[in-house]
Amino acid sequence: MTSAPADARTLLTGLLRDALARVVPAGSNAPILLDRPKLEQHGDFACNIALLLAKELRGNPRNIAQQLVAALPASPHVEKTEIAGAGFINLFLTNAYKQQVVSRVLAAGDRYGAGTYGQQRKTQVEFVSANPTGPLHVGHGRGAAYGASVVAILAMAGFDVSREYYVNDAGRQMDILALSTWLRYLESGGATLSFPPNAYQGDYVRAMAAQLRSTDDTRFDRVWTDVVAGAADVGSDPEKHLDDLIANAKRLLGKDYDRVHRHALETQLADCRNDLAEFGVTFDQWFSERSLFTSGRVEQAVRDLEQRGHIYLQDGARWFRSSDFGDEKDRVVQRENGQYTYFASDIAYHIDKFGRGYDRVIDVWGADHHGYIPRVKGALAAVGQDPDRLNVALVQFAVLYRNGQKVSMSTRSGEFVTLRELRQEVGNDAARFFYVLRKSDQHLDFDLDLAKSQSNDNPVYYIQYAHARVCSVLEQWGGDENSLRGIDTTPLVSPHETVLLKRLMEFPEIIENAARDLAPHSVAFYLKDLAGEFHSYYNAERFLVDDSALKAARLALALAVRQVLRNGLALLGVTAPEKM
């Protein structure tokens, strides 16, 4: 079998470039773009170069296409070319060229699909980063599944990738959680109190309070009248009421407040780590927001902006001139009471990221943070960083449906379905796959009933079943799989086989495009199509035929399909079972 360039686009682009040089000796800036036609009769690839040249050459695009086709160098890998429509050039590869993909897949194994697009550029992906104020819920799960798949795809495409979780361990939300835990602690000791309706309500708060009571006994007990002394009325100003209770807690507990705060933080963070690890999502670094303050990096970031002339004083507060960098208005970085805002710590955090030597930083944010992008990019530009090195991928929260009914979710009220509960109900595989089945910035309705079903309507089941079917065929055969590597694949000429060969050839391109667009859903769609094509093949043809050459070729093709299904599922964090 004659060896050929593994990448069909590279092969055909080179031929077309040679033809273009002959037709336009002076050279042309027209790009050579290759598309995969939707219809088989339109070839394996189509090129619109003749239409792009028509204006430049002041000629008829069909005539230009004819000249290009006539000038194409002969290739043993191109069966024929056709001119269609207004001047599209359709290119057909030979069966022999397509058949070679089987050997390439089997030789590469779990590295089939890997590429050099990333050129080992040092890239950081920061994702999930949920406030550690309660268990992760199904909304956070989508960001976790998406971010983990993006990291895996980028690594497969040749990037040097690092995963980071930004721990929001500073600020008001953590103070509210610490207060909520302390109030439940007082309650467990017999205090009769009115628990604020806007504090954290979940049973996990009672559990943390019970742990405090068991380890520290009465150490944190205080008189209830002192706790509420001077606090705003909860009915007229519930948020001010909370802030006053927090201030009282800090005053009454003194240094012990840090113990309560740390207990709440560490308990929830440990639960988060464990939950994500069980979900197949791990991180190279858990970065503390508080460390930005204790190290002085927030103060330094604001000082740096001020020295560059991007900060002004108004009403006792410091404002960043973010409107100079495309934001809709200027933003406060330090309040009149001297406290820095969340935005100030975000500026310091992103300066720190690039200071660690990353060529590119990818933040995975909830879609409700869309308006936050220009101000963060503006701050980077203001301190001399290239804002284009920061990419923000927006993720819509998933909406969970059970029995056709929307499930309510609110972290403070405690009315939410946790990620752990979701995983226990539908399994990790279904959860990971369903989360990436849509573009990240599109609304996602998570149908529990569909995710649990064992039917062809359930895409993850459908794909895993294709993998299991290959395993079943190979088990029935009972031979040595290694003997199928390098096998003669010339017998693979049926329509089903041709379609599968083309689909296997596409996989490296799918990975590169998914890495470029940060789009795991495109891998999910590809796997669904590949599985569907294999199921059709399985139902139409026999594998264990009497013709030994045909049998070996078909088994090798099935083995290659299994490998690509396994590789793709691994990128999405989904297992590839051998039996269903």
Residue 63: what are its φ and ψ, rounded to 5°? -65, -40
Return the H-helix or E-strand segment holding 3: none
Return the H-helix or E-strand segment holding 238: helix 238-253
Q: Rounded to whole angstroms, what are the CA distances from 540 to 99, 173, 351, 456?
A: 19, 59, 58, 17
Per-residue pLDDT tens for 161-179? 999 999 999 989 999 999 9
Task: For residues 33-55, give the mean pLDDT.
Answer: 93
> What are the residue ranges spanned by the domains of the chain?
8-93, 172-269, 455-571
Per-residue pLDDT tens for 257-310? 999 999 999 999 999 999 999 999 999 999 999 999 999 999 999 999 999 999
Local structure of residue 339 (DSSP, 8 states): P
Using DSSP bridges, classify how beta strands 317-320 and 311-314 pair: parallel, antiparallel or unpaired.
antiparallel
Q: Does domain 455-571 have CATH number 1.10.730.10?
A: yes
Cα separation, 283 vs 168, whole angstroms: 16
Task: For residues 322-327, give the mean pLDDT.
Answer: 94
> Within 10 A of 254 (CB to CB), how many other CB atoms are there?
8
What pLDDT sits at residue 28? 87
> Within 10 A of 7 (CB to CB), how many other CB atoms are there?
14
Q: Which residues of 384-421 are buried (b: 16+ CB within 10 A; e: fewer)?
A: ebebebbebbbbbbbebeeeeeebebebbeeebbbbbe
Q: Evaluate if residue 548 carries a pLDDT over 50.
A: yes
Q: Evaluate if residue 26 carries a pLDDT over 90.
A: no
> Within 10 A of 554 (CB to CB), how many other CB atoms are there?
26
Task: For residues 398-411, give the mean pLDDT.
Answer: 77
> Within 10 A of 350 (CB to CB), how many other CB atoms are there?
23
Per-residue pLDDT tens for 501-546? 999 999 999 999 999 999 999 999 999 999 999 999 999 999 999 9
455-571 has the same fold as 8-93: no
Per-residue pLDDT tens for 340-356? 999 999 999 999 999 99
What pLDDT sits at residue 4? 62
What pLDDT sits at residue 398? 86
Residue 159 structure tokens: 């990037």
What pLDDT sits at residue 2? 46
Mean pLDDT rounded to a whole number for the chain:
95
What pLDDT sits at residue 217? 96
Q: Evaluate if residue 410 carries a pLDDT over 60.
A: no
Q: Evaluate if residue 418 carries a pLDDT over 70.
A: yes
Cα separation, 536 vs 443, whole angstroms: 31
Per-residue pLDDT tens for 186-203? 999 999 999 999 999 889
What pLDDT sits at residue 1? 42
Per-residue pLDDT tens for 90-101? 999 999 999 999
Cα separation, 302 vs 313, whole angstroms: 12
Residue 205 structure tokens: 């708060």
Task: For residues 58-81, give the mean pLDDT.
Answer: 96
Task: For residues 449-460, give the mean pLDDT.
Answer: 94
Cα separation, 538 vs 500, whole angstroms: 11
Percent of the chain past pLDDT 90, that is, above it, reads 91
Task: For residues 560-567, give the mean pLDDT.
Answer: 98
Q: How far is CA 552 from the centre of its chain?
A: 38
Closest CA to 145 of 523, 464, 416, 415: 523
Angle, helices 138-156/419-426, rounded to nearest 10 degrees: 70
Do the beta carbons of residue 474 and residue 559 sit within 8 Å?
Answer: yes
- Alpha helices of 217-362 — where are they, by DSSP H? 224-227, 238-253, 256-278, 289-294, 297-307, 342-355
Cβ within 8 Å of residue 254, ≥6 positions away: none
CATH of 8-93, one of 3.50.50.60, 3.30.1360.70, 3.40.50.11540, 3.90.1530.10: 3.30.1360.70
Indicate the pLDDT class of residue 415, thresholds 50, 70 and 90.
low
